[in-house]
Structure 1
Amino acid sequence: MRKNWQNLNGTWEFAFDDDQSGRRKAWYRGEGSFDQKIIVPFAYQTKLSGVDDQTPHDHVWYRRRFNVKSEAGQLLLHFGAVDYQASVFVNGQMVVQHIGGETPFSADITDFVENGENLLVVQVDDPHRDETIPRGKQIWENQSTGIWYTNTTGIWQTVWIETVPATYIQNLKFTPDFDRGAIDIQLALNQVPENTQISYQISFKDQLVASGVKTATTSLTEWSVDLFQEQIFRTSYHGAGWTWSPENPNLFDIQLTVGDDTVGSYFGMRKVSAANGMIYLNDHPYYQKLVLDQGYWPEGLLTAPTDQAYKDDIELSKKMGFNGCRKHQKVEDPRFLYWADHLGYLVWGECAAAPIYNAHAVRRLTHEWDEIIDRDYNHPSIVTWTPLNESWGVPKLQFDRQQQHFAQALYHYIHSLDETRLISGDDGWSQVETDICAFHDYGHGSDSETQQQAAFSERLSDTQHILVSSPGGKQMFADGFSWSGQPIMLTEFGGVSYEPEQREGWGYTTAATPAEYLADLQRIFAAVYGSRALWGFCYTQLTDVEQEQNGLLQYDRSPKVPVDKVKQILDGYHPDAVAEVAK
Structure 2
Amino acid sequence: MTDSAGLDATALDGSYPRPQLVRPSWCDLSGEWDFARDDDLTARVGDVRFDRTIIVPFPPESPASGIHETGFTPCVWYRRRVGRRELLAAGLGEEASRVLLHFGAVDHTATVWVNERLVATHTGGQSPFTADITDAVDVDGDNVIVVRAVDLPADVSVLRGKQDWLEEPHSIWYHRTTGIWQPVWLECVPATSIGAISLRSDLPNASIDVEVQLAGPTPPADAWVRVAVSHEGQTIAEGRVRTLGRDTASVRLVIPHQLNGQQYEELLWTPGRPTLLPASVALETADGSEIDRVSSYVGLRSVAVSRDAFLLNDRPTTVRAVLAQNYWPETHLAATADALRREVELILELGFNTARVHQKAEDPRFLYWADRLGLMVWAETASAYSFDERAMTSLVEEWTAIVARDQSHPSIVVWVPLNESWGVQHISHDPRQQAFSRSIADLTRALDGTRPVISNDGWEHAASDILTIHDYESDPAVLAARYGDDERLRRMTEGFGPAGRRLSLADGAGELPVMVTEFGGVSLRTGNDADWGYSTANDPAAFERSVTAIVRAIATAAPLAGFCYTQLTDTGQETNGLLAASRTPKIPVERIRAAVLGRE
Into which bin does the TM-score normalised by the smaller protein fall?
over 0.9
Using the alignment, how far apart are the partners of 1:474 and 1:270 within structure 2? 35
Quote the offset at 1:570 in angstroms: 1.6
Residue 377 of structure 1: how far off its partner (Å): 0.7
Shift of 1:500: 6.3
Counterparts of 1:559 and 1:211, CA distance in 2 = 46
In the other structure, the counterpart of 1:272 is 303
Aligned-pair CA distance for 1:202: 1.3
Structure 1 equivalent of residue 584 of structure 2: 558
User: Match of 1:459, as an amino acid?
Assistant: R
Q: Confirm or deny: 8 A CA contact 2:101 2:185 kept in the other structure.
A: yes
Query: Partner amino acid for 1:162?
Result: E
Distance 2:322 2:48 in 1: 47
Task: Mark the CA change 1:32 to 1:454 in structure 2 (over 3 Å): closer, same or farther.
Answer: closer
Separation of aligned partners in 2, 1:573 and 1:398: 39
Partner of 2:481: 458
1:93 aligns with 2:117: yes
- 1:6 aligned to 2:27? yes
User: What are the residue-to-residue correspondences of 1:198-277 with 2, within 5 Å?
Assistant: 198-217=225-244, 218-228=246-256, 233-237=260-264, 239=265, 241-258=266-283, 259-277=290-308
* Cα distance in structure 2, aligned partners of 1:275 and 1:7: 45
> Any conservation in 1 of the 2:555–2:595 contact (CA below 8 Å)?
no
2:386 maps to which residue?
Answer: 356
1:114 maps to 2:138: yes
User: What residue in structure 1 maps to residue 19 of structure 2?
Assistant: none
- Mapped pair 1:414 → 2:444: yes
Say if 1:469 and 1:525 are closer, same or farther in 2 by CA, change over 3 A.
farther
Cα 1:564/1:198, change in 2 over 3 Å: same
- d(CA) in 2 for partners of 1:456, 1:180: 42
The whole-number CA distance in structure 2 between the counterparts of 1:79 and 1:194 is 32
> Aligned runs of 1:273-352 on 2, under 5 Å?
273-304=304-335, 306-352=336-382
Q: Which digits, 9 at most, give the CA deviation of each residue in 1:409-443, with x for residues without a partner?
A: 01110000101111111111111110000010002
User: Which whole-Å CA distance do the structure 1 matches of 2:63 and 2:353 have between them?
Assistant: 32
Show the counterpart of 1:64: 80
Q: How does 1:108-257 map to 2 (within 5 A)?
A: 108-115=132-139, 116-190=141-215, 191-217=218-244, 218-228=246-256, 233-237=260-264, 239=265, 241-257=266-282
Paired residues, number:
557
Given candidates 511, 527, 535, the residue that maps to 1:485 is: 511
**AA aligned opposite 1:372:** I
1:529 and 1:124, CA in 2 relative to 1: closer, same or farther beyond 3 A?
closer
Q: Which residue of 2 aligns with 1:394?
A: 424
Kept in 2: contact 1:398–1:477 (CA 8 A) = no
How far 1:502 moved relative to its partner? 6.4
Deviation at 1:184, TM superposition (A): 0.5
CA 1:169–1:530 in structure 2 vs 1: closer, same or farther (change >3 Å)?
closer
Structure 1 CA distance for aligned equivalents of residues 527 and 313 of structure 2 = 44
The answer to whether the 8 Å contact 2:377/2:414 transfers is yes
Partner residue of 1:39? 55
C-alpha separation between the residues in 2 aligned to 1:512 and 1:146? 19
Shift of 1:482: 5.0
**Does the Cα contact within 8 Å between 2:548 and 2:591 map onto a contact in 1?**
no
| Cα distance between partner residues in 2 of 1:506 and 1:168 | 51
8 Å contact kept, 1:529–1:573 = no
C-alpha displacement at 1:402, in angstroms? Answer: 0.7
**2:536 paired with 1:506:** no
- Per-residue deviation, 1:13: 0.6
Higher mean Cα deviation, 106-115 or 151-160?
Answer: 106-115
Aligned counterpart in structure 2 of residue 528 of structure 1, from 529, 535, 554: 554
The amino acid of 1:60's aligned partner reads V
Secondary structure in 2 matching 1:277: coil
Question: Aligned equivalents of 1:469 and 1:130: distance in 2?
Answer: 32
The worse-fitting range, judged by mean Cα deviation, of 489-498 and 202-211 is 202-211
Q: For residues 532 and 21 of structure 1, what CA distance do their matches in structure 2 show?
A: 60
Equivalent-residue separation in structure 2 for 1:317 and 1:360 (angstroms):
36
Q: Decide whether aligned partners of structure 1 residues 564 and 526 sit closer, same or farther in structure 2, where only a CA change above 3 A counts.
A: closer
Match among 548, 566, 569 for residue 574 of structure 2: 548
1:234 Cα deviation from its structure 2 partner: 2.3
Q: C-alpha distance in 2, partners of 1:246/1:428?
A: 25
3-state SS, counterpart of residue 472 of structure 1: coil
Give the whole-Å Cα distance in 1 for the aligned partners of 2:582 and 2:573. Answer: 13
Residue-by-residue CA offset, 1:274-326 (whole Å, 9 max, x unaligned): 1232111001000000000001000000011x211111111111111100110
Deviations 1:351-374 (A, max 9, x none): 101011111111111111110111
Q: Does 435-444 or 528-537 show the bigger shift? A: 528-537
Residues in 2 aligned to 1:522 and 1:6: alpha-carbon distance in whole angstroms: 47
What residue is the counterpart of 2:502 in the other structure? 475
What's the CA shift string for 1:501-532, capped at 9, x where partnerless?
Answer: 86851211212232222211232133214423
**SS at 1:533 equivalent:** coil
Change (3 A) 1:303 1:219: same
Alignment partner, residue 37 of structure 2: 16
8 Å CA contact retained: 2:469, 2:497: no
Q: Aligned Cα RMSD in Å? A: 1.7
SS at match of 1:427: coil
Match of 1:581 in 2: none
Amino acid of the structure 1 residue aligned with 2:309: M
Q: Which runs of 5+ in 2 are unaligned?
A: 1-21, 284-289
Q: Distance in 1 between matches of 2:29 and 2:527?
A: 39
Match of 1:580 in 2: none
SS, match of residue 89 in structure 1: strand
Which consecutive unaligned segments of at least 5 residues does structure 1 have? 446-452, 575-583
Give the conservation status (yes or no) of the 8 Å contact 2:239–2:252. no
Conserved? CA contact 1:432–1:481, under 8 Å: no
Q: 1:63 offset after TM fit, Å? A: 0.7
